[in-house]
C-alpha cells in the first residue's frame, strides 16, 4: 500500500473522546476542583501567575476587554486572518476593532501599517501567532506597542509552548488567550484559557464570567464529539488510503474549494450552507461554564505538549534542511522557540503546488481562517478605511501548509521530506 499522508490530524485519542461522551450523556458537567487544577497547571506551563478556563478563546478575549474598564468605543487593533468572532467579541465588549495589514514575510503585523493605524483612541493590540512560529519582527511590534502606550493581548492558540528568550508566548504582553478546540495540541473539545500576571485583571475576568456563564448543555458537545469520531474514522490510515483519499481527490477535481471546506470539519461549510454572521452582542450559546471532564482532558494533553512540540520541531528541522527551501519559508525570530503547529511554505501557484504534492501522496492544507478584510460585514473595520490589506491577502493565498504531526511514522516523515525536496528543486 502506498504511503499517503493526511493533511490535518488531531491529537485526541479515541478512548478519551469516548470517556467524554459518557460524561456528556450523563449530563455530568461538574468538577470545579479539576478545572482549578487545570488552570493552575496551565498557568505554570506558560509561566503566568494566573489562568482562567472559559468556553472559548474568543470569550476569554471578551471578558479580558471588559475587565480592563477602558472607555467605550476605544479601538483594538488586530490582523485580519483570524476567526470572525474575534471581531464580534471586540465589538460586543464595547470596543471598535480595526484590522491592520500584515507582513507576508513574517506572518505578523506590518510595522509601517501598524504605526499608521494607531490613533489617539487606540488602546489595545491583539497579536495573533500563526502556525506556532515566533515572527522575526516581534520585537519591533512590541516596541511600537510600548512606545504608543498600547495594551498587548497575545493569541497563542496556534503557538502553545512557543517562546522568546526563555519566556513563553502569552506572557510578553498584559495577557494571553489560547484556544483548546479540537485541532489544537492541547484540545479539550471546546474551551479556551486566559493567562496573565495581573491579579486584579484576572479577578475581574473571573467575577464577570462567573456571574454570566450558565451550565453547559449536551447538544453542542454531542455534535462536536460526533464530528471528532467521524474525523478519526475517516483519517484512520487504512480507511484514508482506501476511501477518504480517493473521495477527497474526486470531489476536489469537481469543486476546487471542496478540499478546504472538508478540512475545516464544519458540516455546514462542506455542504456550502454556512455563513459567517457579524454581531455586536455575544450569543447566549457561547456563554457556558467550562466542565470538569474537559479539564481532565486538558490536564492529560497539557502534559504532552512539550513532547509533541519536540517531535514537531524535529520534523520541521528536517524540512528546513532541504536545499533551496529557505527562500520559501517565513522569517522567524532568531531567538524564538518555534513549535510548528503547521509548516508553511510559500508557493508561486498554491493550487498547482497542492496538486503536485497530492500526486506524491501528500495531502496539504491551507489556512482555514478567512481574510476578514474581504468579508461583507467585516471589511468596514479595515484600517485605514477601504484599504485592501494586500499583505494579509498575500499571506492567505501564497502559503501552503505541509502536513507534520508528532505521531507520524518514519515512513510518512520520509515521504513528506522527499515531496518537499522534489517540489522545491523541481
Write down the domain spans for the chain.
1-426
Is 1 buried (19+), middle (13-18) or exposed (0-12) by CB count in 10 A?
exposed
What whole-number distance in Å separates Cα of residue 98 and Cα of residue 117?
A: 8
Q: What is the mean pLDDT of residues 179-183?
A: 93
Nearest to 347 by CA among 368, 372, 323, 330: 330
Q: Residues of 7-24 as b/e, b for ≥16 C-beta within 10 angstroms? A: bbbbbbeeebbeebbebb
| pLDDT over 60 (residue 271) | no
Q: Average pLDDT for residues 53-67, to the nearest whole number? A: 98
286-338 tens-digit pLDDT: 999 999 999 999 999 999 999 999 999 999 999 999 999 999 999 999 999 99
Angle formed by the axes of helices 57-67 and 199-212, nearest 10° = 120
Q: Are 280 and 88 in contact (CB under 8 A)?
A: yes
Round to whole Å and give the CA distance between 290 and 123. 29
Q: Tens of pLDDT along 208-258?
A: 999 999 999 999 999 999 989 998 999 999 999 999 888 877 776 666 566
Give per-residue pLDDT as tens, 360-416: 999 999 888 889 999 888 999 999 888 889 999 999 999 999 999 999 999 999 999
CA distance 389 to 77: 14
Q: Per mean pLDDT, which range of 84-93, 129-138, 237-246 is the poorest? A: 237-246
Q: What is the pLDDT of residue 258?
A: 60
Q: Rounded CA gap, 40 and 32, in Å?
A: 12
Half-sphere exposure (Cβ direction) of 155: Cα atoms closer than 13 Å: 26
Above 90 in pLDDT, residue 261? no
Rg of the chain over all Cα atoms, to the nearest angstrom: 21
Q: Is 424's pLDDT higher than 60?
A: yes
pTM comes to 0.94
Chain segment 158-174, per-residue pLDDT in tens:
999 999 999 999 999 99
Percent of the chain with pLDDT over 90: 85
Entry field: residues in the chain? 426
Pairing of strands 151-155, 122-128: parallel
pLDDT higher than 70, residue 147: yes
pLDDT score for 268:
45
Predicted pLDDT of residue 269: 42
Q: Report the mean per-residue pLDDT for the chain.
A: 93
How do the residues of the chain divide into helix, strand and coil, expressed in percent and rounded to 5? 45, 15, 40
Please provide the DSSP assignment of 56-114 as one string. BHHHHHHHHHHHTTPPTT-EEEE-SBS-HHHHHHHHHTT-EEEE--EETTTTEE-HHHH
- For residues 180 and 191, give the distance between their C-alpha atoms in angstroms, rounded to a whole number: 5
How far out from the chain centre does Cα 82 lie?
Answer: 8
DSSP code for 150: P
Q: Mean of the pLDDT values across residues 262-273?
A: 45
Return the CATH fold of 1-426: 3.40.640
* Helix (H/G/I), strand (E/B), else coil: 393: helix
Dihedral sign, CA of 407, 410, 411, 413? Answer: positive
C-beta neighbour count of 306 within 10 angstroms: 13
Provide the sign of the torsion angle of the four alpha carbons 243, 244, 247, 249, taken in this order.
negative
Determine contact, residues 256/249, Cβ cutoff 8 Å.
no
Kindly tell me if the per-residue pLDDT of 270 is higher than 50.
no
Residue 351, pLDDT score:
87
260 has a pLDDT exceeding 60: no
In this prediction, residue 23 has a pLDDT band, given cuts at 50, 70 and 90, of very high
Amino acid at each position: 500500500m502506498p504511503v499517503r499522508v493526511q493533511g490535518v490530524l488531531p491529537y485526541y485519542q479515541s478512548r478519551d473522546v469516548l470517556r467524554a461522551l459518557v460524561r456528556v450523556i450523563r449530563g455530568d458537567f461538574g468538577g470545579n476542583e479539576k478545572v482549578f487544577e487545570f488552570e493552575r497547571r496551565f498557568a505554570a506551563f506558560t509561566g503566568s501567575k494566573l489562568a482562567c478556563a472559559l468556553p472559548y478563546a474568543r470569550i476569554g478575549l471578551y471578558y479580558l476587554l471588559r475587565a480592563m474598564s477602558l472607555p467605550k468605543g476605544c479601538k483594538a487593533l488586530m490582523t485580519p486572518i483570524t476567526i470572525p468572532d474575534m471581531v464580534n467579541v471586540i465589538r460586543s465588549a464595547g470596543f471598535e476593532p480595526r484590522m491592520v495589514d500584515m507582513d507576508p514575510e513574517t506572518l505578523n503585523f506590518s510595522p509601517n501599517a501598524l504605526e499608521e493605524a494607531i490613533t489617539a483612541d487606540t488602546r489595545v493590540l491583539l497579536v495573533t501567532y500563526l502556525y506556532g512560529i515566533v515572527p522575526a519582527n516581534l520585537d519591533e511590534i512590541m516596541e511600537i506597542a510600548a512606545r504608543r502606550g498600547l495594551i498587548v493581548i497575545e493569541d497563542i492558540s496556534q503557538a502553545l509552548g512557543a517562546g522568546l528568550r526563555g519566556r513563553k508566548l502569552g506572557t510578553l504582553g498584559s495577557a494571553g488567550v489560547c484556544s483548546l478546540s479540537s485541532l489544537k495540541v492541547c484540545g479539550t473539545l471546546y474551551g479556551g484559557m486566559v493567562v496573565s500576571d495581573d491579579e486584579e485583571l484576572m479577578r475581574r475576568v473571573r467575577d464577570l464570567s462567573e456571574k454570566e456563564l450558565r451550565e453547559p448543555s449536551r447538544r453542542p458537545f454531542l455534535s462536536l464529539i460526533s464530528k471528532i469520531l467521524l474525523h478519526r474514522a475517516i483519517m484512520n490510515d487504512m480507511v484514508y488510503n482506501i476511501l477518504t483519499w480517493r473521495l477527497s481527490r474526486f470531489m476536489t477535481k469537481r469543486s476546487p474549494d471542496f478540499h478546504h471546506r472538508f478540512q475545516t470539519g464544519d458540516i455546514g461549510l462542506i455542504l456550502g450552507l454556512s455563513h459567517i454572521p457579524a454581531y455586536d452582542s455575544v450569543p447566549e450559546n457561547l456563554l457556558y461554564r467550562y466542565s470538569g471532564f474537559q479539564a481532565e482532558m486538558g490536564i492529560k494533553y497539557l502534559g504532552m505538549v512539550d513532547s509533541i512540540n519536540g517531535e514537531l520541531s524535529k520534523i520541521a528541522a528536517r524540512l528546513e534542511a532541504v536545499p533551496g527551501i529557505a527562500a520559501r519559508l517565513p522569517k522567524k525570530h532568531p531567538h524564538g522557540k518555534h513549535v510548528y503547529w503547521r509548516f508553511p511554505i510559500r508557493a508561486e501557484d498554491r493550487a498547482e503546488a497542492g496538486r503536485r504534492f497530492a500526486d506524491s501522496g501528500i495531502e496539504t492544507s491551507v489556512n482555514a481562517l478567512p481574510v476578514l478584510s474581504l468579508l461583507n460585514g467585516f471589511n468596514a473595520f479595515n484600517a485605514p478605511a477601504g484599504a485592501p490589506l494586500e499583505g494579509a491577502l498575500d499571506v492567505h493565498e501564497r502559503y501552503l501548509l505541509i502536513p507534520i504531526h508528532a505521531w507520524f511514522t518514519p515512513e510518512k516523515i520520509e515521504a513528506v521530506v522527499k515531496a518537499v525536496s522534489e517540489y522545491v528543486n523541481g
